[in-house]
Chains A and B, each alone.
Chain A
Amino acid sequence: MEASEFDEFYTASFRRVTGQVYAMIGDFEEATECTQEAFARAWAHRRKLDRAEYPEAWVRTTAYRLAVSRWRRRKRGERSPDRALQGAGSVSAVDESHVALVAALKQLPEAQRQALVLHHIADLPVQQVAAEVGVPEGTIKARLSRGRAALAELLADESGLAGGGVTHA
């Protein structure tokens, strides 16, 4: 992959992958940083990436694993305590309309959340979700079914409590 191709790939995919990772881990800033690091690793290993059938899936998987990795834990520990006061830099606040959905997703078991995000947000077919997660297709279907039911219930509760529900653009 040449530099210009990588730049196009990064520009086209960065926000999309960040959104997917955000939905999976529930922390937008973490998702942004991990996605950025995953793209850096993608460039570092670009020859392998050239042979990957779905480069964006490689980056997404790497970003997600980074988010739950020991490396990430250590990086969080290195942050200065007053970091919250330093401003968000170039990372803009996430759209308010997404907050309730992400909060509901966070309450789901990780496996259901991952299946829902990959199938309905990343728009992957069940077969590809199964390949990415490494479980049989039937397992993904079951997780999607249970996850959808649980999410519907959580969103209904949320809208009842909020007295009007989530608004969407």
Chain B
Amino acid sequence: MPEQHDPIDELARFGAGFGSATPGGDMPLSAADVRRRGDQIRRRRTALVAGGAALAVAAVAVPVFAVIGNGDPRSDKDDAAVEVPPVTATNLLRDADTEYDTEGYSVFTTTDTFAGDGQAVSLPCQRAGTSSLGATHSLTRVFNLAPDPAKMSPGDTFDDQTDDDLVEMVAQFDTPDAARAAYDQFAEWIVDCKIPGANTVKVGTQGRSVDVAEGDAVLYGIQWGPAPQELDPTGDFAYIGEIGLVVQDDRIAVVSVQIVGMDYNWMPEDGGSPLERMLPKAAARLALDPAPDQPTEPAETVTADEGQATGSGEPDPGASGAGAIPDTFPLLDGWPEDAGDGDGRVGPDRDIDPLALEACGTAVTDVDHADRLTARFDNAEDYRTRQLTTYATADEAVAAVAAIRQVYAACPTGEVRDDGYTPHWAVVDTQIGGESFAVLGWDTMGDQPTPYGDTLLVVRLGSAVLVVAHSGEGNAPSGGEDQQAVDRIVEESASVVAQMCTWTAAGC
């Protein structure tokens, strides 16, 4: 008869053993080494907002084409119009939108996002680039399917990368007719699918309609082979998957899922196939305005700050008529004088690296400006930056502010970073200056909240824009509705904003 063990005793002995000095071996790193590693982590996080290194990310082109004002000195941003690409990453599925098995054991993760047709067609059955079909803009995102490590049991082994992919392409056309023609062309290519190197291609030629909120959507099952021998030495596998098409006014989306395997069976009670579940989401994202906060048409208005009438693109340089920032501008006002554990006050200086503002891999374009002065305050876990930029016209300042807002508003949730944290952003309006908003940035680990994040305040007054960045442990907002974090920065920045009256039409 097996010996009986009281599991509680076993567990208690285990705990007591690891509480003593000897079991578990020596600590791999000394406490000092761990602190050094921690300092590296802190510096890297700080660089997320305070760094000036060039970012290897795509920049949004924001031509200066803006009209400002509606007579309300606090709300002229509502009438700002900025020309942006007609389809952006906003219109693509995000990792969080994707679905595969209903239990979530496998997840799609973005591996690439690019504009235009690229070097080769990205979708099965596609025979030519979308530009040849008349698309004025297109954007493609590639995802890879792999097991979710959070759902794996300890000790399980699995591949980081698989040969199973999801590809989505969205394209903009000049007219709804052109979009419909492209949609039909893709359907013809699929029904008569030819895949280079394939011995057999089978397509469910009777497409299945999928209900979407706007436009039409159809789905085709597809299978071809052979699969590569290294994946399928016995010849039992094939490429299996489905391709979905969506047409909506003057846009289309084409989405494909392909796996290497023996079956691709999905039960209706589980919501159907992955694309049956994802295509409505793809349609919903396709319908989004890439700059949802901005109207698309300019209008004749008045400048906001002082109610002075101007026309579209009219300069509003302020009383001095100059964009130069005096060296004595009080950019340090309100910050502590005690350096604490850091460098304390730094600047104001024109040589300090500009703030690197980016979200979802999209950097805010730093448009031409008249002058820029930056100051910093560094203490342990307390990093503050104020960047004052002046522009030749108020319109250009409006465009600069709109570009910042657009990047963060279009990215409520970013990709999981290398350190395992997922960044989130929320844009909230504030009541300071002629036009202002705050960007609350906070991190989560999986679905758990963390204490990390950053806060931005963006204020325009006349043709000047102040960006205030706070990071470090004491400055992270708690989620997307932390009014206290915003109020703190607004209050601290008030005296600086007041001095920006120099760049309004009426002056100070």
Residues of A within 8 A of B (CB): 3, 6-7, 10-11, 14-16, 18-20, 22-28, 32-33, 36-37, 39-48, 62, 65-74, 77, 89-95, 97-98, 101, 106, 110, 116-117, 120-123, 134, 148, 151-152, 155-157, 159-160, 164-166, 168-169
Nearest CB of chain A from residue B135's CB, rounded to whole Å: 34
Contact among A6, A44, A74, A91 for B28, CB-based, below 8 A: A91
**Are A65's CB and B445's CB within 8 A?**
yes
Which listed residue (B41, B152, B420) contacts A44, Cβ 8 A?
A: B41
In Å, the complex CA distance between A77 and B418 comes to 13
The smallest C-beta distance from B381 to any residue of chain A, in angstroms, reads: 5
**B489 touches A (CB below 8 Å):** no
Contacts of B419 in A (CB 8 A): 71
- In the bound complex, do residue A159 and residue B2 qualify as a contact, i.e. CB atoms below 8 Å apart? yes
Closest to B416 in A: A70
CB–CB B474/A47 < 8 A: yes
Partner of B19, one of A16, A40, A74: A16
Please tell me if B112 contacts chain A, counting CB pairs below 8 Å.
Answer: no
Report Cα–Cα, A26/B11, bound state, in Å.
14
CA–CA, A117 to B397, complex, Å?
57
Nearest CB in chain B to that of A144: its residue: B8
Tell which of A19, A28, A36, A45 touches B381, judged by Cβ atoms closer than 8 Å: A45
Complex contacts, B39 vs chain A, CB 8 Å: 43-44
Of chain B, the residue at the smallest CB distance from A113 is: B154
Which of A26, A43, A71, A116 is close to B154, meaning CB atoms less than 8 Å apart? A26
Residues from chain A with a CB closer than 8 A to the CB of B381 are 45-47
A-binding segment of B222-230, B446-454, B458-466: B446-454
> What is the minimal beta-carbon distance from B467 to any residue of chain A, in angstroms?
24
A16-B18, A70-B420 in contact; A165/B5 too (CB < 8 A)?
A: yes
| Cα–Cα, bound, A62→B28 (Å) | 18
Please give the distance in Å from A75's CB to the nearest CB on chain B: 10
Contact B15 A40 (CB under 8 A): no
Q: How far is the CB of B16 from chain A (nearest CB, A)?
A: 9
Q: List 15 additional contacts besides A40-B34, A72-B149, A116-B7; criterion CB under 8 Å.
A: A15-B21, A22-B18, A26-B155, A33-B28, A36-B28, A41-B41, A45-B381, A68-B152, A69-B420, A69-B445, A90-B25, A91-B25, A95-B24, A121-B12, A152-B7
Distance in Å from the Cβ of A62 to the closest Cβ of chain B?
Answer: 8
A40-B34, A44-B45, A106-B155 given; A71·B420 CB < 8 A: yes
* CB closest chain-B residue, reference A9: B31
Partner-A contacts on B (CB < 8 A)? 1-8, 10-15, 17-21, 23-29, 31-32, 34-35, 37-39, 41-42, 45, 149-150, 152-155, 160, 380-381, 416, 418-420, 445-446, 448, 451-452, 472-474, 476
Question: Are A43 and B18 touching (Cβ within 8 A)?
Answer: no
Residue of B19, B41, B152 near A15 (CB, 8 A) is B19
Q: Which of chain A's residues has its CB closest to B9's CB?
A: A168
What are 15 A-B contacts defined by CB distance under 8 Å? A7-B35, A36-B34, A37-B37, A44-B42, A44-B45, A45-B451, A45-B473, A66-B420, A69-B446, A70-B420, A90-B27, A97-B17, A120-B11, A155-B5, A157-B2
Interface pair B473/A48, CB less than 8 Å apart: yes
B15 CB contacts on chain A under 8 angstroms: 19-20, 120-123
Contacts of B452 in A (CB 8 A): 45, 48
**Distance (whole angstroms) from the CB of A30 to the closest CB of chain B:** 8
| Residues in A whose Cβ lies below 8 Å from that of B451 | 45, 48
User: Which residues of chain B are near A121, meaning CB under 8 Å?
Assistant: 11-12, 14-15, 18
Measured between beta carbons, the chain A residues less than 8 angstroms from B155 are 26-27, 106
Q: Beyond A36-B28, A43-B34, is A73–B160 a contact (Cβ under 8 Å)?
A: yes
A7 lies within 8 A of B23 (CB)? no
